Amino acid sequence: MANEEFYSGRRVLLTGATGLVGGWLVQSLLSRGAELTCVVRDFVPNSRFYTEKLNERVNIVRTDLEDLPQIERTINEYEPEAVIHLGAQTIVGVATRSPLATFNANIRGTWNVLESCRLHDRLVKSVVVASSDKAYGSQEKLPYSEESPLHGESPYDCSKSCVDLLSQSYGKTYSMPIGISRCGNFFGGGDMNFSRIVPSTIQHAYNNTPPVIRTDGSYVRDYIYVKDAVSAYEFLAQKTYEKKFRGEAFNFSNEEALTVLEMMSKILKLMGKSSLKPIVQNQALNEIRAQHLSAKKAREVLGWKSAWPVEKGLAETVAWYEDYLKSKEARK
């Protein structure tokens, strides 16, 4: 939904290019003619950033988000007009095991990006920061609206609350053009973290083995297809540039709340494997039982709306993984 001409020839800096959403976003921005610089920490050969050879079409800066001088140098030298900050440690279990590393990557990394943009505010005209529905923490009133308080409790959730508040602070205190995105659980082709519910279920079904659920299956989540997420980030960056949002937050969602078991059932049905009975481990720690989003503000203020219902996104996702798993078998 972003204007096709907006990104043509426009310099964009992206963090998190090797992540699930990052790879799809790089591909989309390049197709729109953006001049892209990507901040990359690790070489992740299975990420779409490399498998689709997107790395060969962008500027790459190899550094940690925690390195303020390098982030500041990158913005100064590559002169982006728009900065889209997706880079983070995104795995809840990793955050629980290593909270300090997660706080450093997510919180320090974000203030480094924001401070570098502040120092070069004559260059940077739009900043988008990826927060999360996890920033809201556990609340009785659902769905979350942007007026819901932020009080994440577990290490990962807390890091996202801090990221969100830092972005609001910089936007309002320094009058910086910052838009904050809050999305639910991403899914789509190219997610190589097979501990997540969608790729894990598809892999088990492909191999005709019972899928595994870490929770009791009743946890409610908001699932957003990666192409919806890409459109949300592109749209928010453009609107922040045009309207100069000052630390304004927006929920992005298809507004389909599903339990883990319901999501798994949809995948198994699409793959013709409904007879497979899941193994329910009920071992989840530090996870919120129910969370989902209202996207009313995004519709009314931005004019954004979801184009990908869950089942439509799952159909593409299943097809992607079936091709991937077949090609992996052929290479053996």
The string of pLDDT tens digits covering residues 229-288 is 999 999 999 999 998 899 999 999 999 999 999 999 999 999 999 999 999 998 876 678
Q: What is the pLDDT of residues 107-118, one digit of tens each?
A: 999 999 999 999
Q: What is the pLDDT of residue 285?
A: 67
Mean predicted confidence (pLDDT) in 147-175:
97
Active-site residue, from 7, 136, 144, 156: 156
Please tell me the distance from the alpha carbon of residue 253 to that of residue 296, in angstroms, as a whole number. 9
| Average pLDDT value for the chain | 95
Considering the domain boundaries, does residue 177 fall inside one?
A: yes
CATH at residue 120: 3.40.50.720
Domain presence at residue 103? yes
Look at residue 244 in the predicted model and tell me its pLDDT.
Answer: 85
Distance between CA 90 and CA 88 in Å, rounded? 6
Residue 327 belongs to a domain: no
pLDDT in tens, 3-48: 678 999 999 999 999 999 999 999 999 999 999 999 999 999 999 9
- Determine the pLDDT at residue 232: 97
pTM tops 0.85, yes or no: yes
Q: Note whether residue 318 is domain-resident.
A: no
- The closest alpha carbon to 288, from 187, 181, 144, belongs to 144
Question: How far is residue 158's CA from residue 285's CA, in Å, rounded to a whole number?
Answer: 15
User: Could you give the CA distance from residue 310 to residue 107 in angstroms, rounded to a whole number?
Assistant: 31
123-145 average pLDDT score: 96
Assigned domain for 278 exists: no
Please indicate whether residue 156 is annotated as part of the active site.
yes
CA distance 88 to 130: 9
Structural domain that includes position 38: 11-187+225-255+291-307
313 compared with 282, residue with greater pLDDT = 313
Instruction: Read off the pLDDT of each residue in 117-142 and give the average, rounded to a whole number.
Output: 96
Torsion of CA 173, 174, 176, 181, to 10 degrees: -30
User: pLDDT by residue (tens digit) across 174-233?
Assistant: 999 999 999 999 999 999 999 899 999 999 999 999 999 988 999 999 999 999 999 999
Does some domain include residue 207?
A: no
Query: Under a CB-based contact definition with an 8 Å cutoff, are residues 197 and 154 in contact?
Result: no
| Max Cα distance, the chain (Å) | 59
Q: Is 282 left (phi over 0), alpha (psi -120 to 50) or beta?
A: left
**Residue 12 to residues 63, 121, 174, Cα–Cα distance (Å):** 17, 14, 21
Residue 325 within a domain: no
Name the band, by pLDDT with cuts 50, 70 and 90, for residue 2: low
Residue 25 in domain: yes
Number of domains in the chain: 1
What radius of gyration do the chain's Cα atoms show?
19
By residue count, the chain amounts to 332
Give pLDDT, residue 68: 98
Say what the pLDDT of residue 172 is.
97
Is the model's pLDDT at 1 over the cut of 60? no
